[in-house]
Structure 1
Amino acid sequence: MSFNVALNGLHAAHKRLEVASNNIANVGTHGFKSSRAEFTALYSGAMLGRVGNAVGDGVRLANVAQNFSQGEIGSSSERVLDLRIQGKGFFVVSDSGALSYTRAGAFIKDANDYIVDTQGSRLQGYGVNDKGAVVNGIRADLKINTGNMAAKTTSVIGQTINLDSSLPSLAALPNFNRDDPATYSSVLTKTIQDGGAAAVAEVKGKDVQGNEAVRVSATPAIAPADHELKQYFVKTDANRWTMYTLINGRHPIDPGTTSPLVATITKQPDGSISLVSEGDLIKKTSNTEFPLAGWTPSREVDGIWSASPAVNNGPIVLSLSEGGVNGLDEVGAVMSRSVPRFNAADITTFNKLFSTAIFDSLGNQHELTQHFVKDGTNSWKMHVLVSGRNPTTPDLEAPLTASLIFNADGSVRSMTGGEGLSVENNVVTLKSWVPARVLDAGKSSEKWTTNGAQGSVAGIAIDMKNLSQHNATTGRTTAQQDGYAAGQLEVVSIGVNGVIQAGFSNGQNKSIGQLMLATFANEQGLLPDSTTRWRETSASGMAKLDAPGSGGIGGIVSGSLEGSNVKLTDELVELIQAQTAYQANSKALSTEATLMQTLIQAI
């Protein structure tokens, strides 16, 4: 029996040496997990023997346990597919459908664009749908598609806009024109007469030498003449008017000009009338009479108007009604104000513009502009152009227009579309956009025509839900739109959550997959498949697959590898102890041999 005990001891020491040597050999192996030999004592006894007298039959190897603790952090690399798990979990790889689990994260892209380990097994994870969203629950071979990203036409524009409520409205009264009745509310007409001029028979004076002289004049007398007095009234507010006064179509004081004499008339709450005139030429004597003194009679000679030799007949009394016509028509409509004709090249015809780059189906970039025009206290117009042209008829410059009205609190009360623009839930949709290009730019033959591409079939939805009007600077957050040009793959990155992002030359990023990690109820039950790979067994339990960072699973660190968790100092101590045990068991064996030899010789 002593021989067997010593032999068992030698065998156990040898196993300790094997395990420690294997650990030391793999001290530089990425993802390697150290092992430890575990032993149990052996006893034998007869069925009727006394247990207390059992000496023991030596030792046997009970188990080679693995240490799945975190390995050393390897040096950083610039390789995106060098991956390290920080925390619990195993990478999942597939070899023709057979799954293995590893902590070694040195992966590469093979000739078919699949992500594989050093043995050619494909890394497992979750795929993505057409919108780039990860499809959880369905395992797939992860692949890096190196093809180009196709162009995408713009279909949505998101933005937050505030329009400054303190900005003046661009709507203005029409310029007064006596020949255009649309420029005034009412007119009063009456005939006045000047005082004429007496004949001059002679004029006494001195000649150039200072001598008394008499000049005979042939100036005949001028009979009093009639003149046409017109007062034009423009109702500018509910209780305010502007009055334009002309005599013979000329300025009452300076007949050399056709500009009218201007006065502002206001009806006060108590019913009284106040009047302020140019040069304070018109006075007020009552609420119905307003004399104009010092007017100059005029006459036309050979098509030229000038002051007449006739004198005026005293002040003209301007009245506010004549011949049944009331100049201050309180029930009449206020003169409508109109905004100047919109011209994208003239900044005086709009308050603010915002530009957004949009894309057609071929990836051509165009500029969509939103020009905002304040045309009332709480009302605006929004003119939409693409590349400075009508979006649906690019050979025209006229914009598509929507109307915006705000509540007193700055929120949108109503939003109304126009031709080519529809509105629903404060989203303005540009329909039937025709992408265009210019031919012979800058020449007389310049022409805009379709470029052969298409816009979004559903139109471009311009989100105006975050539109407001407050007393703050007009501004917009950076507009977000979903279109882009075609692009080539430039960079791949992997996040801590295992999501693989592809970056393209068009500035777009796209999720192309997500790594999965596996955990087990009993890691010690895993079956080693190689120095750094394991397979599941009934003892380990089925693999639980999930995304990195969820359910207590570790995260992914890209550009770094997990080193071995072997502690070299401990393994060297283990070698010494195993060697000592081996030598001691060898001594026990040789001693047993000596005793046996002595016994044989004695016999």
Structure 2
Amino acid sequence: MSFNIALTGLNAASADLSVTANNIANANTTGFKESRAQFADFFLSNAYGVSDTAVGGGVRVGKVSQQFTQGAISVTNNSLDLAVSGTGMFTLSKNGAISYSRAGQFGTDRDGYVVNGSGARLQAYPPVAGGASFDSANLSDIQLSTSDNPPSPTTLLKTGVNLPAEAKVPVTTPFASTDPTSYNNTTSVTVYDSLGTAHPANLFFVKSATPNEWTMHTQIDGNEIGTGQTVTFNADGSLATPANGQIALPSYTTTTGSNPVTMTLDLKNSTQYGNTFSVNSLTQDGYATGRLSGIEVTQEGVVQARFTNGQATPLGQIAMANFANPQGLQQLGDTSWGETFSSGPVIRGTANSSNFGLIQSGALEGSNVDITKQLVNMITSQRSFQANAQMISTTDQITQTIINIR
């Protein structure tokens, strides 16, 4: 009986050493979670239960459990390196098979899909029309767009200028953009047509003889758009007309073959104070064609393609997963896990929400293995193995003594 009991001790110590060896071997594996061998004693029993004089049947490995504690996060400055700070796992798909991982070393394949080292594709919620929200009911592969971002024509030009209240009527009439004595002030901005071609637009402000009244002229490519527009101010310097601050300009036909440029001028932030002309704001909503300049991932897991024209296109929001019992997950290798009955059904969500941690782009979560702790455990397991081996040796000596009795 002692032989069998000591043998179970040898097997248990050997299993513990194997678990420790695996932890140490993966100490530098991204997203790796250490394991722990859990032991349980057992008694031999019969139909009448365990005898009062039973000394036990030895030890067994009850379970090898995963420890899903947070690993240290290190910065890599690679935008597709992702680390989860807090709870949650990445969702991956390979040929339709779903798996989960904390390892965020991602790159792209030849088709532009975001994949890990084994070729599994990172899953995300696809953007709905307009990109303002995401379809959380469906999963899709994230694919980085390599095409150009299409241009958008200018439709709204916002300007907030201060016109000097003490300005004098120009000495030259009528207005001519080539004659600085025919206007008081000017400013310029670049606008775009439907083909993304840039056009210089100039705004000229001419003081009229009527108090608090100005005439504004708009030119694109040196061509005046319509006639001068009258702008008036109240006695306190605030804008009086146009009442809503907006002026609809006539369409301008370009020479590039684009659609006519049709703009609305928004002057509601303009004022008439003091004796100084100033441009406080001057913006327009058009932009040229843009080429992909980089990928950005927010803390909420929103993957955006950045373009050279300053635009950002959302490609999806990374799908996060959690489980009621993560220790029940099945290890699949490649630092990934699969759902089982013991783990419970997957709980999906998004990063930086109430049930999930945030995502750090340009960073990786390292292994949660504590080398010092593992080395101490290795020594403990070694001593346990030696003690059980000594027990077998002692039992053998006792048995030999009995055999030698004459």
> Given the two structures, how large is their TM-score scaled by the length of structure 2?
0.90
Of 212, 215, 228, the match for 1:381: 215
Post-superposition shift, 1:345? Answer: 1.5
**Aligned ranges 1:360-439 → 2 under 5 Å:** 360-375=193-208, 376-391=210-225, 399-415=226-242, 425-435=244-254
Q: Is the aligned partner of 1:496 residue 2:299?
A: yes
Contact 1:32–1:531 under 8 Å retained in 2: no
Identical positions, percent: 39
Greater shift, 117-126 or 481-490, is seen at 481-490
Of 252, 255, 259, the match for 1:454: 259
Query: What residue number does 2:67 align with?
Result: 67
CA-to-aligned-CA distance 1:486-536 (integer Å, 9 cap, x gap)? 232232233333333333333444333332322333322222121511122
Post-superposition shift, 1:591? Answer: 2.8
Query: What residue number does 1:148 align with?
Result: 148
Secondary structure of 1:466 counterpart: coil
Contact 1:162–1:472 under 8 Å retained in 2: no
Post-superposition shift, 1:545? Answer: 3.0
Distance 1:472 1:126 in 2: 55
Q: Is the aligned partner of 1:82 residue 2:81?
A: yes
Distance 1:431 1:563 in 2: 61
Between Structure 1 and Structure 2, which shows a larger proportion of strand residues?
A: 1
Greater shift, 538-547 or 3-12, is seen at 538-547
**Aligned ranges 1:28-67 → 2 under 5 Å:** 28-46=28-46, 48=48, 53-67=53-67
**Aligned ranges 1:183-582 → 2 under 5 Å:** 340-375=173-208, 376-391=210-225, 399-415=226-242, 425-435=244-254, 450-455=255-260, 459-471=262-274, 473-551=276-354, 553-582=356-385
Cα 1:539/1:50, change in 2 over 3 Å? closer
Cα 1:514/1:480, change in 2 over 3 Å? farther
Distance 1:528 1:451 in 2: 60
Query: What residue number does 2:7 align with?
Result: 7
Contact 1:90–1:519 under 8 Å retained in 2: yes
Distance 1:531 1:114 in 2: 19
Contact 1:169–1:377 under 8 Å retained in 2: no
Cα 1:93/1:600, change in 2 over 3 Å? same
Contact 1:154–1:455 under 8 Å retained in 2: no
Distance 1:460 1:26 in 2: 62
Distance 2:227 2:322 in 1: 60
Contact 2:321–2:346 under 8 Å retained in 1: yes
Secondary structure of 1:565 counterpart: coil
Cα 1:579/1:130, change in 2 over 3 Å? same
Contact 2:167–2:275 under 8 Å retained in 1: no
Cα 1:578/1:552, change in 2 over 3 Å? same
Cα 1:347/1:30, change in 2 over 3 Å? same
Cα 1:528/1:431, change in 2 over 3 Å? farther
Query: What residue number does 2:108 align with?
Result: 109
Post-superposition shift, 1:578? Answer: 0.9
Cα RMSD between the aligned structures?
2.6
Secondary structure of 1:534 counterpart: strand
CA-to-aligned-CA distance 1:182-224 (integer Å, 9 cap, x gap)? xxxxxxxxxxxxxxxxxxxxxxxxxxxxxxxxxxxxxxxxxxx
Distance 1:544 1:384 in 2: 58
Distance 2:258 2:166 in 1: 42
Secondary structure of 2:385 counterpart: helix
Distance 1:106 1:500 in 2: 15
Secondary structure of 1:490 counterpart: strand
Larger Rg: 1
Look up the equivalent residue of 2:124 and give its one-letter code: G
Distance 2:15 2:103 in 1: 26
Cα 1:522/1:158, change in 2 over 3 Å? farther
Secondary structure of 1:15 counterpart: helix
Look up the equivalent residue of 1:116 and give its one-letter code: V
Distance 1:354 1:68 in 2: 61
Contact 1:402–1:415 under 8 Å retained in 2: no
Q: Which runs of 5 or more residues in structure 2 are unaligned?
A: none
Distance 1:56 1:147 in 2: 71
Distance 2:72 2:280 in 1: 46
Cα 1:454/1:27, change in 2 over 3 Å? same
Secondary structure of 1:537 counterpart: coil
Distance 2:147 2:71 in 1: 37
Look up the equivalent residue of 1:410 and give its one-letter code: G
Q: Is the aligned partner of 1:19 residue 2:19?
A: yes
Q: Is the aligned partner of 1:161 residue 2:161?
A: yes
CA-to-aligned-CA distance 1:247-277 (integer Å, 9 cap, x gap)? xxxxxxxxxxxxxxxxxxxxxxxxxxxxxxx
Contact 2:320–2:351 under 8 Å retained in 1: yes
Secondary structure of 1:100 counterpart: strand
CA-to-aligned-CA distance 1:68-94 (integer Å, 9 cap, x gap)? 2222334x4453222222332212111
Distance 1:476 1:495 in 2: 34
Secondary structure of 1:9 counterpart: helix
Distance 1:599 1:522 in 2: 53
Secondary structure of 1:164 counterpart: coil
Distance 1:572 1:38 in 2: 17
Q: Which runs of 5 or more residues in structure 1 are unaligned?
A: 173-338, 392-398, 417-424, 436-449
Of 368, 378, 390, the match for 1:587: 390
Secondary structure of 1:470 counterpart: coil
Cα 1:166/1:400, change in 2 over 3 Å? same
Post-superposition shift, 1:38? Answer: 0.7
Q: Is the aligned partner of 1:93 residue 2:92?
A: yes
Contact 1:113–1:144 under 8 Å retained in 2: yes
Secondary structure of 2:270 counterpart: strand
Distance 1:126 1:567 in 2: 35
Distance 2:146 2:242 in 1: 46
Distance 2:97 2:275 in 1: 65
Secondary structure of 2:296 counterpart: strand
Post-superposition shift, 1:361? Answer: 1.6
Query: What residue number does 1:133 align with?
Result: 132
Distance 1:68 1:471 in 2: 67
Post-superposition shift, 1:577? Answer: 1.1
Post-superposition shift, 1:12? Answer: 0.9
